[in-house]
Amino acid sequence: MTVPFALLGLLEREPSHGYDLKRDYDTYFGRGKPLLIGQVYSTLGRLARDGKVVVGPAEPGAGPDRKRYVITDTGATEVDTWLKEPVEAEPHLQTVLFTKVVLALMLGRDAEGYLDLQRTAHLQRMRELTEIKRNGQLVDKLLADHGMFHLEADLRWIDITAARLGALAEEVRS
* CATH number (domain holding residue 42): 1.10.10.10
Task: Calculate the average pLDDT of the chain.
Answer: 89
Instruction: Tell me what pLDDT residue 94 has.
Output: 58
Q: Give me the mean pLDDT over the 158-168 stretch.
A: 95
Neighbours of 9 (CB within 10 A): 22
pLDDT tens across 1-21, in order?
A: 689 999 999 999 999 999 999
**Quick check: 7 and 29 in contact, CB under 8 A?**
no
Residue 89 counted as domain residue: no
pLDDT in tens, 33-82: 899 999 999 999 999 999 999 998 777 766 666 889 999 999 999 999 99
Our count of domains for the chain comes to 2
The burial class, CB within 10 Å (0-12 / 13-18 / 19+), for 76 is middle
Query: 6 to each of 21, 60, 127, how far by Cα in Å?
Result: 9, 26, 29
Give bridge partners of residue 67 from the DSSP assignment: 58
The parent domain of residue 145 ranges over: 96-173
Q: Are residues 52 and 102 in the same domain?
A: no
Q: In what order do the strands lie in the sheet with 16-17?
A: 16-17, 66-71, 53-59
* pLDDT tens digits, 133-160: 999 999 999 999 999 999 999 999 999 9
What pLDDT sits at residue 39?
95
Give the separation between CA 96 and CA 102, rounded to whole angstroms.
10
Q: Indicate whether 74 and 141 sit together in one domain.
A: no
